[in-house]
Amino acid sequence: MEKKPLIVVENVNKSFKKSDRQDHLVLNELNLSLYSGEIVALLGKSGSGKSTLLRIIGGLVKPTSGRVLHHDQELIGPAPGLAMVFQSFALMPWITVLQNVELGLEAQGVPKQERRNRALKAIDIVGLDGFESAYPKELSGGMRQRVGLARALVVDPEILLMDEPFSALDVLTADNLRGDLIDLWQSENTNIKNIVIVTHNIEEAVLLADRIIVFGESPKNIRAELKVDVAHPRNEDDAKFRKLVDHIYTLMTMPDSETIDFGYKIIDIGYRLPDVQASEITGFMDMMTEYKGAKVDLPELADEFTMGVDDLFPIIEALQILRFVHVSHGDIQLSQAGKLFADADILKRKKVFASHLIKHVPLARHIRRVLDERHGQRASEERFLRELEDYLSEDAAERVLETVIDWGRYAEVFAYDYNNGQLSLENPD
Amino acid sequence: MLIYGVANNTYHKNENIGWSVPNYWDAVALALIVAIFAVLGWTAMQMATPYNVGQAIPISLSPRSLPVYAMRTVLRMFIALFCSLIFTFVFGAVAAKNKKAERIIIPLIDVLQSIPVLSFLSISVAGFILLFRGSLLGPECAAIFAIFTSQVWNMTLSFYQSVKSVPKDLREVTAIYQLSSWQKFWRLEVPYAMPGLLWNMMMSMSGSWFFVVASEAISVANQHINLPGIGSYIAVAIAHADKTAIYYAIGAMLIVILLYDQLLFRPLVQWSEKFKFDEVLDERISRSWVVNLFQRTRVLRQVSVLFYLLFDKFVNINYLLKRHSSFFQHHLRGRQDPGADKKKNLKYFFVKWKIIPLLGDLIVFALFVMLLFYLWHFLVDFVTWHDVARTFVLGSVTALRVLVLIFLCSLIWVPVGVWIGFRPRLTEFIQPIIQFLAAFPANLVFPIVALWIVKYKLDVNIWTSPLMVLGTQWYILFNVIAGASAIPEEVRLVSKNLGVKGFVKWRRLILPAIMPFFVTGAITAAGGAWNASILAEAINWGNIKLNAVGLGAYITHYTRVGNFPHVILGTAVMCLFVLVINRILWRPLYNLAIERFKVN
Ligand SMILES: Nc1ncnc2c1ncn2[C@@H]1O[C@H](COP(=O)(O)OP(=O)(O)O)[C@@H](O)[C@H]1O
Ligand SMILES: [Mg+2]
């Protein structure tokens, strides 16, 4: 069956200015079509460009090149028929729930009485009856997101764009809202033909979507595309469900082919180290000891340690960089060095960590070398920050330096004085 | 805006109830409203009485005339404030939204806010008197204009900055749901900017008292025009060396400030709480008895519903909807009528060929050239190079005064401000006090200083100087407090845990955090000091006339004798000094503060 797509994303590139000289390519030659009758999940790590793509579809961000077709017409700005729900809810705190919901109708010039009636109906649909005259400040997170949803529904959209709509909510509330979203989708109450939902939660994607697009950083943004042929309501303990989740874990932890070396990650000096503290690494390794070097299924591990993908993946990436673990096919396993580290006492651990840090993290190696060569064996953090800014944005450079300093202090590879921002080889105390 | 707020607070609870019987509180509130409007109306009518230059307006020093004078002064201030608000909405918004306009407006405001307003007074008076020949409206407008120029710039800048920093997601909401620029303005930008704007309006009201005192009693070309008002009252009291009258004036001012604070600003501040983003519900939200009063009324609250509906209509004016501005709706092209299409093409033509921006540049450039030419033409016949050199020397003297004073004030107020800013409860308590101190027109202290100087035979050149910063030093304190209290609690705790103390704490934690705030405050204070120099370097008390050496005294002198070329020369040189010092000292310092002292 050849259906006509509602939205076609055609050869879209998007880059942001990083510095005067450099551009940061976020989306690279991206192609994607959205069809009637499907929920599409954009699933990927944070910073991979999912929100950017969603905003390009919504007409909020212009692509650097390429175009988006909406019913065969090129999209130039926000179009009628598209509505968006935001992670931060994005409600105006100074007006009531009712007025927030009415906003889209005001823009269309709907007369006051009709505006009110339609808004009240939308509020009713999302189950916020009786809260019309409340201010957003008075509502809980879940209720606020319901307002966000009502505001989208009231303009009777054809396509609903959702940017991590449930990730600012607690687990139970999020579950609740997901259920209600599916009910809404299956009911005849709306004219919504397509929902695009951005998420970094694998279970959420499998729970909601008919099609999952696994997203990664450019140059290859669309890593994989999967169909989910499971009827709603879906059961998380279902075998088919689990298998899909497993499969996606595998896809998402697969290192990029260029940086792969026997299952490890090779990085350069400007690599964006994950935001992970040494204490988190040691804590994680402590927990890993109970598996005694056996292969462990990642989803199972996440469950066992009650960690979300957002917490888990950065730590795993750090461990891969330090070569303490192997990751393949959605399984994780301690390496030789990893086992050594896990079983060692504190002093020994620091030694192992130090040697791996110097060997496998070029930035740490570089800092150490500079300090060794320096006369007073000290240097200011500013100096390294400037160097890093050749590769990274100011923000990212600061974070990466902070991370490497934390690791270096833990391993006693170098010392850092908070008061004057100096790195040195002195023994810290 | 007030209307919108009152309505918004209450409309839901009673919208569907029919008109009810007025209660006791209705009567009280109604009486309050009628009284205010009657007084305002009567006062406004006085403004347009016939008047010819040279005609003397008698100013009575009897305390019984003070209420009327106070009303007239306040009315001037509020008219100026209203004009400032309109100006702010127009130019602040345009600057925030249009890159091209931003590049012209913001530097221009930067310049305008640092030039000595007072020295323009004499020039603008001449213009307004010509415009409204034979009516008191001329001098009135000149005074209002002077007050306006002292109020408007910080309001516009604050609004501009707020609009620029509207959270991205809220902006996206208005974009995706296609609100028109007009709707976006009233539904998003104005509300978002409200708390900051209100704060700046209050500051402006405080700051403008200084100019009220100076601008009501105008001495131009040996003519004295005394507009009925507190300012003229003070001027006459000074001329007669009447101490009791000065005390009366201070008393009247206190009462006036208290009244408009209670009747207007308190309710507005309470109302503006709802525009704040803070999640925490603040227990100490400022309460206002006026708001309480109106919340107890029955009928008047329903009138407020009416206002709410009016505001709703205003925001949703049909013609200003987005679908009516074809220019933005390319994707609806097929459905548009041909006329709209043609209009679009025309507009497109202008944009495409950059005709509008080009025109803008041309106009600004032409104005600039004309101004220079005019100035030159005006000056060349009357002013010698010798005069120019003299003004530069005098300017340097005044500049030295300003810088030394700002430095001394900083030594005092930075530590004090940090100390206060670190104590939230104290900050809460002390801010209104400083606000009053800032409102207190320093010119009232001048006579006392004059008396001392004569009595103890002090050096005029040194001892009149502190008067220049008397009124403006508070900006430094204000800003430092704001900066210090903006340091997050955690950051302070962390540094405490790390044992950061003494000098290191100042260098690593406090200075970086307050530096941008401090510089902002110092720029404002310095600008104010330049302005004040025009009054402070030449003070009078009865027959005592003290003149210090300086550019301010120079401008005052030539204004009195009516030598305009010299006034213009002095003003131009003062502007030049202010601008150059801004460029070579404050701006780099500010950039440094932003760049180097960033808290991690
Ligand atoms: N307006 C912007 N200016 C500069 N960089 C941006 C902007 N928006 C996004 N980016 C960058 O683009 C990348 C992708 O961002 P985003 O689309 O938000 O990712 P995701 O939603 O997948 O977390 C990030 O590295 C981010 O820093
Ligand atoms: Mg995102």
Residue B377 included in any domain: no
Task: Choose from A84-98, A244-258, B101-115 the range with maximum mean pLDDT.
Answer: A84-98
Question: Where is pLDDT greater, at B590 or A349?
Answer: A349
Interface contact B176-A58, CB threshold 8 A: yes
Q: Per-domain residue ranges for chain A?
A: 7-253
Contacts of A55 in chain B (CB under 8 A): 172
Residue of B nearest to A86 (CA): B169
Q: What letters, b where the CB count within 10 A reaches 16 and e where it falls short, cover A210-245?
A: bbbbbbbbbeebbbbebebeeeeebeeeeeebbebb
Q: Enumerate residues 6+ apart whose C-beta is below 8 A from B312.
A: A112
B408 and B546 share one domain: yes
B280 and B299 share one domain: no
- Span B158-183, average pLDDT: 90
B311 and B400 share one domain: no
Average the pLDDT over each of A270-284, B154-168, B372-386 and give the range with the smallest value: B372-386
Q: Distance between CA B328 and CA B67 in Å, rounded? A: 54
- Give the pLDDT score at B114: 66
Residue B529 included in any domain: yes
B316 and B462 share one domain: no
- Give the pLDDT score at B599: 43
Mutate to test the interface with B, among A70, A106, A138 (most CBs of B within 10 A): A106
Question: Where is pLDDT greater, at B326 or A345?
Answer: A345
Residue of A nearest to B330 (CA): A76
Interface contact A106-B187, CB threshold 8 A: yes
Whether residue A93 has a cis bond before it, omega within 30° of 0: no
Ligand 1 touching residue A48 (CB < 6 A):
yes
SS3 A15: strand
B541 and B573 share one domain: yes
Q: Distance between CA B250 and CA B234 in Å, rounded? A: 9
Of the residues A22, A26, A53, A400, which should be mutated to test ligand 1's pocket, given the most ligand atoms within 8 Å of the CB? Answer: A26
The long-range contacts involving A352-360, CB below 8 angstroms and separated by at least 24 positions, are: A353/A278, A353/A322, A353/A407, A353/A410, A353/A411, A354/A411, A354/A412, A354/A413, A356/A322, A356/A323, A356/A324, A357/A322, A357/A407, A357/A408, A357/A411, A357/A413, A358/A413, A360/A264, A360/A267, A360/A321, A360/A322, A360/A323
Ordered DSSP codes for B58-126: -----GGGHHHHHHHHHHHHHHHHHHHHHHIIIIIHHHHH-HHHHHHHHHHHHHHHHS-HHHHHHHHHH
Q: Distance between CA B158 and CA B165 in Å, rounded? A: 11
What's the total number of domains in chain B? Answer: 2
DSSP one-letter code for A254: P
Which residue range forms the structural domain that includes residue B142? 48-287+386-597
Which token pair is B40?
């305002």
Q: Distance between CA B568 and CA B382 in Å, rounded? A: 11
The predicted-structure confidence for B22-78, as pLDDT tens digits, reads as follows 677 777 777 777 777 777 777 777 776 666 666 677 778 888 889 889 988 999 999
Q: Enumerate residues 6+ apart whose C-beta is below 8 A from B76.
A: B140, B143, B144, B147, B212, B216, B229
Q: What is the domain-level CATH number for residue B550?
A: 1.10.3720.10
Of B448, B443, B420, residue with least CA distance to B433 = B420
The pairing of beta strand A159-163 with beta strand B217-220: unpaired
Of A83, A90, A94, the CB nearest to B191: A94
Average pLDDT, chain B: 77
B129 and B96 share one domain: yes
Q: What letters, b where the CB count within 10 A reaches 16 and e where it falls short, cover A53-92?
A: bbbbbbbbbebeebebebeeeebbbbbbbbbbbbbebbbb
Contacts of B504 in chain A (CB under 8 A): 419-420
CATH of the domain spanning A7-253: 3.40.50.300
Encoded amino acid at B369, one letter: V
Partners of residue A163 on adjacent β-strands: A198
Task: Choose from A147-161, B98-112, B153-167 the range with maximum mean pLDDT.
Answer: A147-161
Distance A395 CA to ligand 1 centre (A): 12
B580 and B512 share one domain: yes
Residue B381 included in any domain: no
Q: Residue holding tokens 């609740």? A: A176
Interface contact A83-B177, CB threshold 8 A: yes
Rounded to the nearest 5°, which phi and psi values hold at B269?
A: -65, -45
CA atoms within 13 Å, Cβ hemisphere of B319: 0
ipTM: 0.77
- Picking from B324, B347, B374, the residue at the C-terminal end of a domain is B324
Ligand 1 touching residue A43 (CB < 6 A):
no
- Give the pLDDT score at B347: 52
Q: Residue holding tokens 């400032």? A: B84
Which token pair is B453?
């100087």
Interface contact B331-A419, CB threshold 8 A: no
Helix ranges restricted to H, B273-337 = 289-296, 299-315
Residue B361 included in any domain: no
Partners of residue A415 on adjacent β-strands: A424
**Residue B431: how many CB atoms within 10 A of its CB?**
16
B424 and B540 share one domain: yes
Average pLDDT, chain A: 87
Q: Enumerate residues 6+ apart whose C-beta is below 8 A from B473.
A: B409, B413, B525
B531 and B559 share one domain: yes
- pLDDT band at residue A117 using 50, 70 and 90 as cut-offs: very high
B82 and B228 share one domain: yes
Which token pair is B401?
């005064």
Whether residue B116 has a cis bond before it, omega within 30° of 0: no
- Picking from B324, B349, B374, the residue at the C-terminal end of a domain is B324
Interface contact A83-B275, CB threshold 8 A: no
The predicted-structure confidence for A163-204, as pLDDT tens digits, reads as follows 999 988 888 899 999 999 999 999 888 899 999 999 988 989
Residue B553 included in any domain: yes
Cβ atoms of residues B347 and B40 within 8 Å: no
Residue nearest to atom 4 of ligand 1 (CA): A16
How much is the pTM? 0.77
The predicted-structure confidence for A64-86, as pLDDT tens digits, reads as follows 999 999 998 899 889 889 999 99
The predicted-structure confidence for B92-147, as pLDDT tens digits, reads as follows 999 888 887 887 787 778 777 767 777 777 777 777 877 877 777 888 888 898 89
B267 and B297 share one domain: no
Q: Residue holding tokens 């200015």? A: A17
B480 and B562 share one domain: yes
